[in-house]
Each structure stands twice: as structure tokens, then as C-alpha cells.
Amino acid sequence: MNILLLGSGGREHAFAWKIVQSTNCTQLYVAPGNAGTESIATNVAISITDFDAIRDFITSKDIALVVVGPEEPLVKGIVDFLQNQPETAAIPVVGPSQLGATLEGSKDFSKRFMQRNNVPTAAYETFTADQLEAGLAYLDSQNLPIVLKADGLAAGKGVLICLTLEEAKASLKEMLLDQKFGEASSKVVIEEFLTGIELSVFVATDGKNYKILPEAKDYKRIGEGDTGLNTGGMGAVSPVIFADEAFMAKVEEKVVKPTVDGLAKENIPYKGFLFIGLMNKDGEPHVIEYNVRMGDPETEAVLPRIESDFLALLHGIGTGTLDSYELKISPDYATTVVMVSGGYPGSYEKGKVISLPDTVQGAEIFHAGTGRNESGELVNQGGRVIAVTGKGESLQEALSNAFATVKGINWDQAYYRKDIGMDILNLM
Ligand code: AMP
Ligand code: GLY
């Protein structure tokens, strides 16, 4: 079949890498893609939010499956759009409906969904600008630290963990009255601070059936030892040793089942991936957030561990036939180290020429923010540039493979964290 994949990050390069391994893949198109997807598929210069152009492309290339990588087109309703067009109505799409995507697009919507469906999560209340006084009084009644979340999408920046009451009150005012995060903070969720160890669980669902993919831990901060500014993600490790069988069984019973059942019961069309950010608090899972897509860079650590046909998994999601899919997971470790442009997540220079090693052992190189200059050389075009995934029978071996490959990749001002996976290694 011909497939169209939307997106241009490391996640999409990993998706493309896995899809083209399937014998059922005739032609893979990636819109817009990057220099990595270009080498294994056909890049198409269409924006992920240009729905009309996407529909026309699907029709002209006889596309049989559409896979949506990032959240933006999902939250903007691409799935409903394609279903409502006569030309594309019958084509399966991997990605939730706009209502389903609201689980990521609105923190208040997702908290209310969790409450209705008895999914364990932190206690909370939501406030708008005209409820500022009530919000301040609520803060007075809560323990510290306290978490403030912009309701809408804020590019991963909308969450504040406040250590003092003064800070929390000032931040609430800035969010509600001064639109600190623009329209996204016109509503603010005030939430109990959870302590514990964080991990990400990934679920593939067709709205009725589900498969739990390998879990992962990501590294959000720019600096070693989890210091400095938040980023999109600087690395990932899978499996996560503290997510043992007993804990994952609780995740399935208390979180995954009530979530998928809740979507079905509430008639929220959902054929796609669900990324559940969890806190393991004294052995009990609590949901921090839902994302309506796979994580990046977690995908680059999760997909290399899937041994069964990934295109068949995607097809099962899109066509509602996931019950007949047999998921096979490798027990091996996969560790991803993200190489970024110096200065990221602040400003950085683009157009630096990247040199890649000729041979790679025990690792896979995924492109994120890469492109080509006028001379055809590989250059950085984004903040997160390359994600290297090492594999191995042990965590140590996977990390050695990843870092050995990273050392052979160079460009002016490249930066990466040398401590990815070290915290887990120390727990073992
Ligand atoms: P989010 O943007 O929702 O992924 O939140 C960013 C990060 O803030 C999460 O990955 C957690 O590390 C942290 N966080 C969010 N909510 C809470 C909470 N209720 N308690 C503790 N940490 C939290
Ligand atoms: N790595 C976190 C995310 O994809 O949201």
C-alpha cells in the first residue's frame, strides 16, 4: 500500500524507518519530512496544517493509510476533516478525532475525563480570569509545592511548579490576567504536586482494542543532572527498570483500561497513539498528562524494540482491527541520545554542516531538524538535530553503542547530554 506520514521530527524518521521495513509498504511519502526520511522515502513539500493540500495529495497518489505524527494537525481536526471529505472519507487514518485530541489540547478537559472515568490523577481545580479571587483563595488552602498549568497547548512550556505561595499567586495572575502563555492560559489548572518517579507509557488503540507498547523514560532538561531549561526531550531509555511487571499490571488495570473504555463509552472517536505521562508514587500510578501522539525522542527508543510488523500495527489502529494484531517486543535495551544545536532551547545558529560516520555499529541514527544547503550538504535546521539510538542486551551496552556513534557525528556547536541513562544505571 501507499502511505502518507505527516511530520518532520526524529519521531517521524523512526516511524518511516520502521514502516519501510514492512513488505506491505509499496511507497512511503513524508510531508514535509527531513533529510533522514528523504533517504528512505519520498518527501513532499506540504505543510502539516494545509488540510486541503493533504487531501489532494492523498487522492492523487492513491494513499491507503495516513499516519499523523505530531499533535498540531490532530488538535486542529485533521482526522475529522479527512473523514468529512468525500474523496478521503474511506481512508484509514492513524490519529484521534479532534475531540479525542482535546485530551492533549485542554488540560481541564483531560482532568475532567480522568475524574469521570476514575483514572488516578492529582487533585485539581480550574480557574478563569473572572474567577481569579477564588483561584487565589484555593492556592491559600493548598500544600506546597503547587503546580499551575495553562489549559491549552503552550509548546511544552505551560507548566509551572511553584515552591512558594507568593510565586504561585503571582504566576496565577500573570497567566490569567497578562496572558503569560497567550490564549492557552486563559484557563489555568491548579494541581497537587506529585512526588515519585516519572515514566511514559504508550498505548496503541483503535477505540475498542489496545496494545501497550514498551514504556520509556525521557530526559526533559537541557543540562546534565536534570538542570536548566525544559526542552522537547534530550534522551530516552526503554525499558524502565522501576516499571516492573507488578507496576505495569496496575497501569493496565487502573489507567489504560478505564481510559480506553472511557473513550468508547463517551463516544470519543480515537484511533491512534496515546502517550500517558505517569508518576510512580509509592508503587501506584498517577496520570500527569495525556498526549495524543507518540513522544519524541521516546519513539526513537520504543520503536527499535518492536519486533512485529509496525505497518500492520498502524493498519490495525486505522481500520479498527487491532484485536488480531500480535505485538512482539524485544527484551533488549534501547537508549536514545539527542544532539542539539548549541544554544537550544534558546536561540541557535542554523546551516552548520553535519558530518556523519561512514559505518555505525549497534546503533541507529535518526534525523530531526536536518536539511540540505544549496550545495546539497547536510545541515542543522532545528533545535533538536539528530537522535542516536543504541541497542544492547544490557543498558550499559546500549548506552556505549549510542555514545560511540554520537562521538562520530560532528558539527560546529553541537551539544548533547552525556548522562542519559546514568540515573537508571545507578539504580541497578
Ligand atoms: P507537562 O507539560 O504536562 O508534561 O508537564 C511538564 C512536567 O512537569 C512533567 O513532565 C512533570 O515532570 C512535571 N509535572 C506536571 N504535573 C505535575 C504534578 N502534578 N506533580 C509533579 N510534577 C508535575
Ligand atoms: N518527549 C516528550 C514529548 O514528546 O512530549
pLDDT for 427: 84
Domain ranges, residue 142: 123-192
Q: Is residue 247 part of a domain?
A: no
Which of 165, 192, 219 is where one domain is finished? 192
Q: What is the average per-residue pLDDT within 271-289? A: 97
Ligand 1 atom closest to 122 (CA): 19
Which of 96, 113, 145 is where one domain is finished? 96
10 shares its domain with 89: yes
User: How far, CA to CA in Å, does 273 sit from each of 10, 23, 33, 238, 241?
Assistant: 16, 23, 20, 17, 23
Confidence check: pLDDT of 156 > 80: no
CB distance 104 to ligand 1 below 6 Å? no
Q: What is the CATH number of the domain that holds 137?
A: 3.30.1490.20
CB distance 197 to ligand 1 below 6 Å? no
Q: Is residue 270 part of a domain?
A: no
Q: Which of 366, 365, 209, 205 is nearest to 293 (CA)?
A: 205
Distance 288 CA to ligand 1 centre (A): 6
392-406 pLDDT, tens digit per residue, is: 999 999 999 999 999
131 shares its domain with 91: no
Q: Which comes out higher in pLDDT, residue 157 or 349?
A: 349
Distance 355 CA to ligand 2 centre (A): 27
User: What predicted TM-score, i.e. pTM, was given to this entire model?
Assistant: 0.96
CB distance 200 to ligand 2 below 6 Å? no
Confidence check: pLDDT of 89 > 90: yes
CB distance 10 to ligand 2 below 6 Å? no
25 shares its domain with 73: yes
pLDDT for 53: 98
CB distance 289 to ligand 2 below 6 Å? no
185-210 pLDDT, tens digit per residue, is: 999 999 999 999 999 999 999 999 99
18 shares its domain with 82: yes
Q: Is residue 52 part of a domain?
A: yes
CB distance 300 to ligand 2 below 6 Å? no
Nearest CA to ligand 1 atom 9: 288
Q: Is residue 197 part of a domain?
A: no
CA distance from start to end of the chain: 44
CB distance 238 to ligand 2 below 6 Å? no
- Continuous H helices in 370-421: 395-407
CB distance 156 to ligand 1 below 6 Å? yes
Q: Is residue 409 part of a domain?
A: no
Beta-carbon contacts of residue 162 (< 8 Å; ≥ 6 apart): 144, 145, 146, 147, 148, 168, 171
Give the integer Cα–Cα distance in Å for 72 and 5. 14
Distance 160 CA to ligand 1 centre (A): 8
72 shares its domain with 22: yes
85 shares its domain with 142: no
Q: Is residue 55 part of a domain?
A: yes
Give the integer Cα–Cα distance in Å for 312 and 306. 12
Residue 189's beta-bridge partner residues?
A: 126, 149
User: How far, CA to CA in Å, does 108 sit from each of 68, 189, 256, 343?
Assistant: 24, 6, 19, 33
Nearest CA to ligand 2 atom 2: 295
141 shares its domain with 92: no
From the CB of residue 414, how many other CB atoms can be counted at a distance below 10 Å?
A: 17
72 shares its domain with 15: yes
**Cβ-contact 315, 25 below 8 angstroms:** no
Confidence check: pLDDT of 291 > 80: yes
Distance 159 CA to ligand 1 centre (A): 7
Q: Is residue 375 part of a domain?
A: no
Q: What is the average per-residue pLDDT within 251-278? A: 98
Share of the chain above pLDDT 70, in %: 100
Distance 78 CA to ligand 1 centre (A): 27
Cell numbers of 359, please?
559505518
Instruction: State how many domains the chain has.
Output: 2
CB distance 71 to ligand 2 below 6 Å? no
Q: Is residue 383 part of a domain?
A: no
Which of 192, 215, 231 is where one domain is finished? 192
75 shares its domain with 154: no
Q: What is the average per-residue pLDDT within 294-299? A: 98
User: For a pocket test of ligand 1, which of 159, 219, 275 has the largest count of ligand atoms closer than 8 A to its C-beta?
Assistant: 159
Give the integer Cα–Cα distance in Å for 255 and 139. 28
Distance 339 CA to ligand 1 centre (A): 24
Confidence check: pLDDT of 125 > 80: yes
Q: What is the CATH number of the domain that holds 53?
A: 3.40.50.20
State the Cα torsion 387-215-153-82 to the nearest 10°: 90
User: How far, CA to CA in Å, does 301 sit from each of 60, 125, 276, 313, 382?
Assistant: 34, 35, 16, 17, 20
Nearest CA to ligand 2 atom 4: 295
140 shares its domain with 69: no
